[in-house]
A and B are shown apart, each in its own frame.
Chain A
Amino acid sequence: MAPDGPPSATGRAVSCTDLVKVFDASGDPVQAVGPLDATFAAGHTTALVGPSGCGKSSLLRMIAGLERPSAGTIRIGAETPRDLTRRAALAMAFQDAALLPWRSVRSNVALGLSLARQPPDAARIERLIGLVGLAGFNDRRPAELSGGMRQRAAIARCLVSAPELLLLDEPFGAVDELTRRRLNRDLPALWQGTTAILVTHSVVEAAMLADRVLVLSPRPATIMAEIDIPLPRPRDEDDAALRDRIAAIAAALRDSGPDRVLAAQ
């Protein structure tokens, strides 16, 4: 664990059993997920990759308790997602960062504490902003930040409440390639020890960040392949062993169905 990382919570294992999600708003049901079985090991980072529209966000939102499963169960430790949110023990980073534009960076990070009903802790907020590399931008508004800086602020907001489960939905979707590389290298240390589930379109990102990659089928999402990445961190994108894993993920994705994945640079 990084010596000056955030005090890490005890990670929780997540297990999904026979999980199904069917959207039926307009009388024309769409099955987005499942039936899907998966476990996410405690304290590990797992990446979900799959073709666009296959149901990754739906899966993540169910685990976050934002969406109810149509069938099947989700257990986080022994609890349901709702139990976890009620304790404010999980945090989610959204694709669009979801920073409130009228709040400064500091105040947006502080929101992570106040929404979790934790007492304000200026020193901790300051430290996390520093850890994501935004020191000196405490008083800036989101509009004054670049896309990557916004994502980092959002991640600081997630981490400030020391969640037991971290859910990241394409957190670096809006980031340029260079910044993304730097984030991929630096950020994982911040949530080491926490269970993290990461949705991404980038095969490279999955390999850089995750301990294990789950390749999903086209909609409805089911698990097509599992690829372990037992490599030490920090990782190097040009490392041969990592390249090998990247190739394996890309191959699994190609086999999984129509190849509409954007990545595999």
Chain B
Amino acid sequence: MTAPATRRVARPAVPVVRVGPLAWRVLGVVGLLLAWEALARLNAGSYVLAGPVAVAIHGVEHAGLLGRALRATLVNAAWGFLWGNLAAIGLAAVILLVPRLERLLVALALLVFCLPLVATGPILRVAYGPGDGPQIVLAALAVYYTTLLALLVGLRAVPRSWLDLVESYGRGAGAQLLHVRAMAALPYLAAGLQIAAPAAILGAMVGEFTGAERGLGVLTIRATRALDVDATWTIALLAAGMAMAAYWAFGALLRRVASDPPALLLAPPGPALRRGRRRGAAGAAVMILVALALWQGGMDALGLNSYFAKRPGDVLTFLVTGPEAASHRATLLAAYAETLAYTLPGYLAGLALGAGLACAITLAPGLAAVAMPVAVALRSVPIVTTAPLLVLALGRGSVGTITIVAVMIFFPTLVACLQGLRQAPGDVIDIFASYATGRWRTLVLARVPAMLPAFFAAARMGVPAAILAVTTAEWLATGRGIGSLMALTASTSDYNMLWSAITLVALTAALAHTLVARIERAVLRVYGPEQLAR
């Protein structure tokens, strides 16, 4: 892909909205708070909503406790952010210098990214014992993949001639990296870090959910168990606020390094599978073998106790060849089916609502300018940190879980689609206008096709997000599905079942991701061929 094309795709994500005079803004905030408070008072007996007054009182009364927890979470998130991003930078450099490894490394990175955090958390806890290790590792796991993708796009979004320039002096890939690619990738790295910042907070909190001594995640668990509505709201708002603040802080950094920040959700899918079905299948087989070898070899090399660190062979015995394999399979698959029944509707609803609202906003011009900043801000909130609120509001049944998944998918999709809808080249729109084509037809004929690449990028990145959302919700609250099975087996030290569940979930996520990427590539071949070229 050449940079001019990328730059064009990468129009600024957010329109500069001039919010009216300060007075209006203050009035708006006050109105919102009043409505919130009124709603809370109306629902006083229902243990769902805490009003701003209650939240403020709780915050002040427990300021010391909340402050310490917040500090612990932020410190862990910062370490995880650092390690995760360093890992991403290292991986990107390796891929750039040894391009042959790209498919393998990116696929493995995706597989690791798809590991359900709520299950890796307890296992890390056993491996580390008490301390901050697991939270930091989970925060790192939550950030490295998006940063890696951002870097890979950025390192390549370089005009051919810049690379030729270096080559024409007889210099190789190292000099290209040093003189050209590293600097050219900076804006992309900054954009990746912006997405990573709230994700690190989320990762650290999930790590704290699974048995830490300190941190906002610990307080969340306590408040949820005690049905303490005020505490739940205060903590969730605090976590969301921190995530938003981190997102905005890195946004400011991004605007410093790039006058025209790249829109990362538009990152094209990885390199296409080799031509031919057979080679594709062979590639997948190699990948699975490498993954299994790394799993086994890694655990052996680290000398991890096979009591909690189950190897591929253990899982195979447990699920296939062992004496009670059939009943194990039945338990696992029942929970799995339950989880899928929540995930799929939530995922599809999130996608449909995001794309639909984006289209609706475009039909009502003017609305976009208002909706976009709100959507961008809310996208930065790791929904999982607010999952307890949704569970409070919607109950522990299927509606609550499906809603959590849908909300998790909805905001990134909305933002991506709004960006995509604006990609429709101005002159195409002008042509339609000159034929007095109606808004609807323009939308269908010109804007929606232009939106498709962004939509599919969101759908692809939404797969691991949906899995994270559903397992966390099940783990925290609903007591159903595979997330709950993981919680149960972690607490009863049934590590064979836990590892089986991890394997199943990671494989499902990786397969779903591949499937979406395939559809995406087929669609892009028609609607955005420049996104596939390298």
Give chain A's interface residues, CB within 8 Å of chain B. 61, 64-66, 82, 85-88, 90-92, 94-96, 98, 100, 102, 111, 115-116, 161, 167
Interface centre among A88, A90, A100, A116, by most chain B C-beta atoms within 10 angstroms, is A100
Question: Which residues of the other chain, B, contact A61 by a CB distance below 8 angstroms?
Answer: 164
Cα–Cα distance between A65 and B166 once the two chains are bound (Å): 12
B382 CB to nearest A CB, Å: 33
Assuming A100-B183, A111-B179, A115-B179, is B164 touching A85 (CB within 8 A)? no
Assuming A94-B161, A98-B159, A100-B180, is B169 touching A116 (CB within 8 A)? yes
Between A and B, 27 residue pairs with Cβ closer than 8 Å are: A61-B164, A64-B168, A66-B164, A82-B170, A85-B167, A85-B170, A87-B170, A88-B169, A88-B170, A91-B169, A92-B164, A92-B168, A94-B161, A94-B165, A95-B161, A96-B159, A96-B161, A98-B161, A98-B165, A100-B179, A100-B180, A115-B165, A115-B169, A115-B175, A115-B179, A116-B169, A167-B168
A189 CB to nearest B CB, Å: 23
A111 CB to nearest B CB, Å: 7
Cα–Cα distance between A64 and B167 once the two chains are bound (Å): 9
B516 CB to nearest A CB, Å: 26
Cα–Cα distance between A87 and B170 once the two chains are bound (Å): 7
Tell whether B162 is near chain A: CB-to-CB under 8 Å. Answer: yes
B171 close to A115 (CB less than 8 A)? yes
Cα–Cα distance between A73 and B162 once the two chains are bound (Å): 26
B170 close to A86 (CB less than 8 A)? yes
B168 close to A90 (CB less than 8 A)? yes
Q: Apart from A66-B167, A88-B169, A96-B159, list 20 A-B contacts with CB within 8 A.
A: A64-B164, A66-B164, A82-B170, A85-B167, A85-B168, A85-B170, A86-B170, A87-B170, A88-B170, A91-B169, A94-B161, A98-B159, A98-B162, A98-B164, A100-B180, A100-B183, A102-B183, A115-B171, A115-B175, A167-B168
Cα–Cα distance between A87 and B161 once the two chains are bound (Å): 20
Q: Which B169-203 residues have a C-beta within 8 angstroms of A?
A: 169-171, 175, 179-180, 183
Give chain B's interface residues, CB within 8 Å of chain A. 159, 161-162, 164-171, 175, 179-180, 183
Question: Which residues of the other chain, B, contact A115 by a CB distance below 8 angstroms?
Answer: 165-166, 169, 171, 175, 179
A100 close to B167 (CB less than 8 A)? no
B168 close to A65 (CB less than 8 A)? yes
Cα–Cα distance between A116 and B166 once the two chains are bound (Å): 9
A94 close to B167 (CB less than 8 A)? no
B122 CB to nearest A CB, Å: 46
Question: Which residues of the other chain, B, contact A96 by a CB distance below 8 angstroms?
Answer: 159, 161
Residue on B nearest A82 in the bound complex, by CB: B170
Question: Which residues of the other chain, B, contact A82 by a CB distance below 8 angstroms?
Answer: 170
A237 CB to nearest B CB, Å: 29
Residue on A nearest B175 in the bound complex, by CB: A115
B201 CB to nearest A CB, Å: 31
Question: Which residues of the other chain, B, contact A65 by a CB distance below 8 angstroms?
Answer: 167-168, 170
Cα–Cα distance between A189 and B156 once the two chains are bound (Å): 37
Cα–Cα distance between A111 and B183 once the two chains are bound (Å): 14
Residue on B nearest A157 in the bound complex, by CB: B165
Cα–Cα distance between A115 and B180 once the two chains are bound (Å): 11
Question: Which residues of the other chain, A, contact B180 by a CB distance below 8 angstroms?
Answer: 100
Question: Which residues of the other chain, B, contact A87 by a CB distance below 8 angstroms?
Answer: 170
Question: Which residues of the other chain, A, contact B171 by a CB distance below 8 angstroms?
Answer: 115
Interface centre among A82, A85, A167, by most chain B C-beta atoms within 10 angstroms, is A85
B162 CB to nearest A CB, Å: 5
Closest 9 CB pairs of A and B: A85-B170, A98-B161, A115-B169, A94-B161, A86-B170, A92-B168, A88-B169, A98-B165, A102-B183
Residue on B nearest A86 in the bound complex, by CB: B170
B456 CB to nearest A CB, Å: 23
A94 close to B164 (CB less than 8 A)? yes
Question: Which residues of the other chain, A, contact B168 by a CB distance below 8 angstroms?
Answer: 64-66, 85, 90-92, 167
Cα–Cα distance between A64 and B159 once the two chains are bound (Å): 18
Residue on A nearest B168 in the bound complex, by CB: A92
B326 CB to nearest A CB, Å: 50
Interface centre among B169, B171, B179, by most chain A C-beta atoms within 10 angstroms, is B169
Question: Which residues of the other chain, A, contact B162 by a CB distance below 8 angstroms?
Answer: 98, 100
Question: Which residues of the other chain, A, contact B161 by a CB distance below 8 angstroms?
Answer: 94-96, 98
Residue on B nearest A95 in the bound complex, by CB: B161
Question: Which residues of the other chain, A, contact B166 by a CB distance below 8 angstroms?
Answer: 115
Question: Which residues of the other chain, B, contact A88 by a CB distance below 8 angstroms?
Answer: 169-170
Cα–Cα distance between A56 and B159 once the two chains are bound (Å): 20
Residue on B nearest A67 in the bound complex, by CB: B164
Cα–Cα distance between A106 and B167 once the two chains are bound (Å): 21
A90 CB to nearest B CB, Å: 7
Residue on B nearest A84 in the bound complex, by CB: B170
Cα–Cα distance between A100 and B164 once the two chains are bound (Å): 12
Cα–Cα distance between A66 and B167 once the two chains are bound (Å): 7
Question: Which residues of the other chain, B, contact A95 by a CB distance below 8 angstroms?
Answer: 161
Residue on B nearest A85 in the bound complex, by CB: B170
Interface centre among B164, B168, B183, by most chain A C-beta atoms within 10 angstroms, is B168
A173 CB to nearest B CB, Å: 12
Question: Which residues of the other chain, A, contact B167 by a CB distance below 8 angstroms?
Answer: 65-66, 85
Cα–Cα distance between A92 and B170 once the two chains are bound (Å): 12
Residue on B nearest A83 in the bound complex, by CB: B170
Question: Which residues of the other chain, B, contact A85 by a CB distance below 8 angstroms?
Answer: 167-170
Question: Which residues of the other chain, A, contact B164 by a CB distance below 8 angstroms?
Answer: 61, 64, 66, 92, 94, 98
A91 CB to nearest B CB, Å: 7
B196 CB to nearest A CB, Å: 23
Cα–Cα distance between A65 and B179 once the two chains are bound (Å): 20
Cα–Cα distance between A167 and B167 once the two chains are bound (Å): 14
Question: Which residues of the other chain, A, contact B169 by a CB distance below 8 angstroms?
Answer: 85, 88, 91, 115-116, 161
Cα–Cα distance between A92 and B165 once the two chains are bound (Å): 7
Question: Which residues of the other chain, B, contact A92 by a CB distance below 8 angstroms?
Answer: 164-165, 168
